[in-house]
Amino acid sequence: MSGGTRQGRLRIALAGNPNAGKTSLFNALTGARHKVGNYPGVTVEKREGSRIREGREYRFIDLPGIYSLTAYSIDEVVTRDCLLDERPDLIIDVLDSTNLERHLYLCLQFQELGIPVVGALNMSDEAKAQGISIDSYELGKILGIPMTATVARTGEGIEELLDLADRAAAGGSDDLHRISYGPEIEPRLAALELAIAADPDFARRFPARWLAVKLLEKDGDALERLGSHRDAAAIAALARESAAWIGTHFGKDAEIVISGQRYGYIHGATRETLRLPGRRAASLTDAIDAVVMHPFLALPIFALTLWGVFSLTFALGAYPTAWLDAFFRWLAASLGPVLPGGALRSHVVDGVIAGVGGVLSFVPLIVLLFFLISVLEDTGYMSRAAFATDRALHAFGLHGQSVFPMMLGFGCSVPAIMAARTLKSPRDRILTIMIIPFMSCGAKLPVHVLLAAAFFPRHAAAAVMAIYAVGVALALGSAWVLRRTALRGEPTPFVMELPPWRRPTLRGLLWHVWENTAMYARKAGTVILAASILVWAVTSYPRHEVAPGEREAMAAAWSQAHPAAGSDDLEAGLSRELAERSMTYSFAGRFGKAIEPLVAPLGFDWRIGVATVTGFAAKEVVVSTLGILYGVGAGKSEGAGLRSELAADPAWTPLVAFCLMLFILLIPPCFAALATMKTELGWSWLGFALAFQLSLGWLVAFAVFSIGTMIGIAA
């Protein structure tokens, strides 16, 4: 038996083709709420969950979707390594009932691993709606794989599936069914199996049948694994000789012959058990695709879709954002007189409320953005977007499937970077990961909205959308340059299955929104809160002590400069000047003055420089830092909004604000995204990405500020 049931626990791997509903089935089996999207690449690493039923624990492993056990992309490597190295007790192969023949190809490969397999004929409701009838019992008998119909999103068939899993696991792997590749190929497979099994330690780790087939298919990973066999050289030579004989005998490459045998076997099995409608009527998917995938309309529709997403986000989010902003201003104004003066009041009002409150006021925009992106994912439009943009992306050296992680980058860079694992070519993966940070993520949205509302109040939405467009344009331009320099090479062909259009479930959409909004709120309560307290501390200490006679001298100088001013104006002016001196004297002021020569060419003063540096922790911290920097000091109403404070400061102009939006857009992402990039790329490429992104951000902001100043739009 393949590992046996460990103390009543059954370890089950959920595997299958992309977009077959594995993650939905995983959620139904475990009660988990992992992301479910109607496009390939949702699961880019294995996840685990459990279920207790009748005293037995079922431990489920949700593996990335793959098309074959020949490992090219990282998701295929993850799936293959888990099945070979961890040896689960059972594999549940999740099959799309509406596209059964193609999905069974992978199922036959699972059989050769020597692990019991159960087939979940998922999306059986959609198959029935299309007039497709599957005799699951008879199909299971022919293939030697027990099968049952399931509908993962409703939980239908789950109990029957677990019953089959129990029986299959109890039967073990001693007498598993396997297909025959015919009288010409089987003797050569048998010879390879015998030679592999001669090393018992090796054969315990790698199934002889599976490895023999893979060696005939000239699988590079299988050949590498063979290296630890005591007779590796002799077996490799035998495999080459056998593959050459098959090629000569059939007049085709051995891999093509084996693939053809599998499909022939599948065709024979489905001919007996699968009934298709006599005449396929045009489906809703066909009707929509005729427009959405039209050669001339696809790209304009894609552009209009993105424009609609962002326009709707800003139009609907403007009101609740303003309400939250007003609430936090009211809270600061209410708590100010109640709290004892000094450090405590400054800490709460200028540190926590000004910092965290400024970020939380943008939650409505985040909710709307994630909701609309989830609609695109769950309906199946993301796959259409990949096809629509494939040719355009190829012109810039990108792969059509790069559009998945790029679009996810509008939400959060971390899952977007991980989604690039679905790209098979290492060059394509590296290139896509390097440009994902140029997609304006949800964390950058508060910065863009704050500055656009303060300096482009009549055209705030257009200004933010312009930043998004600049990010996409610079991402494509960077890809074009990198493909011809550091990442030379042709992009790989793009082949992907288009899933049917599906109506998203309200439950799924709300969960996606809740998950992402909760993550944003958690960040506000942890990273941003900590950063806000730190920024408040470094802007408040060391305190500047007014020397004897200093205030009188300042008052005399101010009165001389403003002879018509009254006593109230004098007091306000003195307070502002003392606050400025105190801020400059603080740790933040000293640091800002030190880096000011680096950011001055971009039009930034030392305060803006400090805000950009703190943004490396999380881009939302830029807003909280500005809130603290401009909320500290006498002469400014505690209830005044940050937008009005920025607009009133002579150091700021619309040009400076736009340059800061560009700079925040292009510089390296937050620490969490950088950590993910390091995991995916390694230290060398991470260092290159940091240098490239920081240099590009500085150069673009410098160019825009210089040109804007020359043509006289600084003010």
CA-CA distance, 416 to 407, in Å (whole number)?
8
Which CATH number is 9-171 given? Answer: 3.40.50.300
HEC-encoded secondary structure of 327-382: HHHHHHHHHHHHCCCCHHHHHHHHHHHHHHHHHHCCHHHHHHHHHHHHHHHHHCHH
Average pLDDT of 70-75?
71
Average pLDDT of 681-695?
93
Counting DSSP H helices and E strands in the chain, the numbers are 34, 8
Give every CB contact of residue 179 below 8 A, 6+ residues apart in sequence.
Answer: 108, 111, 261, 262, 265
CA-CA distance, 85 to 658, in Å (whole number)?
52
DSSP for 507-550, please give it.
Answer: HHHHHHHHHHHHHHHHHHHTHHHHHHHHHHHHHH-SPPPPPTTH
Spatial strand order of the sheet with 147-149 comes to: 47-53, 56-62, 9-16, 90-96, 117-122, 147-149
Stronger pLDDT, 439 or 179, i.e. the higher one:
439
> For 329-364, what is each residue's pLDDT tens digit?
788 778 877 777 666 776 677 667 766 776 777 788
CATH top class, domain 186-275: mainly alpha
Give the model's pLDDT for residue 360. Answer: 79
Query: If DSSP codes are grouped into helix, strand and coil, which group holds residue 631?
Result: helix
pLDDT band at 38 (very low <50, low <70, confident <90, very high): very low
Residues 103, 109, 113, 118, CA torsion sign: positive
Is the pLDDT confidence value at 666 over 70?
yes
DSSP for 67-98, please give it.
Answer: S-SS--SHHHHHHHHIIIII--SEEEEEEEGG
Report which of 485, 492, 384 is spatially closest to residue 428, judged by C-alpha positions: 492
Is the pLDDT confidence value at 258 over 60?
yes
Cis peptide bond prior to 300, omega within 30° of 0: no
Average pLDDT of 656-685?
90
Beta pairing partners, 50: 59
> For 461-504, what is each residue's pLDDT tens digit?
888 889 999 999 999 999 999 988 988 876 665 555 666 777 77
63 close to 13: Cβ distance less than 8 angstroms: yes
Beta pairing partners, 61: 13, 48
Alpha carbon separation from 219 to 91, 214, 261 (Å, rounded):
22, 5, 17
Q: How buried is residue 275: exposed, middle or buried, by Cβ count under 10 Å (0-12/13-18/19+)?
A: exposed
Query: If DSSP codes are grouped into helix, strand and coil, which group holds residue 60?
Result: strand
| Residues recorded for the chain | 715
pTM for the structure as a whole: 0.67
DSSP for 196-241, please give it.
Answer: HHTSHHHHHHS-HHHHHHHHHTT-HHHHHHHTTSTTHHHHHHHHHH
Is the pLDDT confidence value at 44 over 70?
no
Give the model's pLDDT for residue 6. Answer: 44
114 close to 35: Cβ distance less than 8 angstroms: no
> For 261-275, what is each residue's pLDDT tens digit?
888 888 888 888 988
Query: If DSSP codes are grouped into helix, strand and coil, which group holds residue 120?
Result: strand
CA-CA distance, 496 to 625, in Å (whole number)?
45
Which tokens go with 418? Answer: 């991980």
Stronger pLDDT, 642 or 157, i.e. the higher one:
157
Lowest mean pLDDT among 28-42, 104-118, 513-527, 587-601: 28-42
> For 641-655, what is each residue's pLDDT tens digit?
678 888 888 889 999
Which tokens go with 83? Answer: 């099945």
- Domain range list for the chain: 9-171, 186-275, 298-483, 546-576
Q: Where is 50: in which H helix or E strand?
A: strand 47-53
Lowest mean pLDDT among 159-173, 288-302, 381-395, 474-488: 381-395
Distance of CA 592 to the CA centre of its chain: 34
